[in-house]
Amino acid sequence: MPRYCLDTNIFIQAQNGPYAMDIVPAFWDWLDQQVIAGSLFSSFMVHQEIIAGTDDLAIWAKARNNTGLFEPPSADAQRIFGAISNYVLSNYTPAEANFFLQGADPWVIAQAQAENAKVVTMEKLVGANSKKVKIPNICNEFGVDWLNTYQLLRELQARFTL
């Protein structure tokens, strides 16, 4: 069974959009179930980004600190992060590279590759001439499969019914 590593924007866009906790609590229950089943995980760095807030999402993430959802980087992930860092620093402007490398994004990719997992992100692939560092582009460079929330829900056959 494939595993999936969730980017920060999966949680943020779900809460601010179609799967808000007060509208579709089943989505958040489903996430918990998938973590228990071993299908979903995220980076501890994503956890750090989310809990920096003060909203319902931050409270939700804090409650899942030791549940297996937010995993610390393994030695393999740390090694891969180094390769991603070198690539980004060599191929993007210092400002864009540093912005990307200071966040959770490279860790999500590194942890996914280390776990042979797919990255789940709502970011879009950008053209080769783009100055922005985007998760899908770096995933492609490092041979990591990626998809968005809706593709994830279909792959795992999620159903939210009344």
Within a domain: residue 93? yes
**Which residues span the domain enclosing 49?**
4-155
Within a domain: residue 161? no
Within a domain: residue 15? yes
**C-alpha–C-alpha distance, residues 101 and 145, integer Å:** 20
Within a domain: residue 139? yes
Where residue 93 sits, what CATH number does that domain have?
3.40.50.1010
Q: How many domains does the chain have?
A: 1
In eight-state DSSP terms, residue 19 is: T
pLDDT of the chain along its 162 residues, tens only?
Answer: 789 999 999 999 999 999 999 999 999 999 999 999 999 999 999 999 999 999 999 999 999 999 999 999 999 999 999 999 999 999 999 999 999 999 999 999 999 999 999 999 999 999 988 999 999 999 999 999 999 999 999 999 999 998
Amino acid identity, position 64: R
**C-alpha–C-alpha distance, residues 64 and 32, integer Å:** 9
Within a domain: residue 87? yes
> What pTM, to 2 d.p., does this model score?
0.96
Within a domain: residue 105? yes
Within a domain: residue 162? no
Within a domain: residue 61? yes
- In sign, the C-alpha dihedral spanning 112, 117, 118, 122 is negative
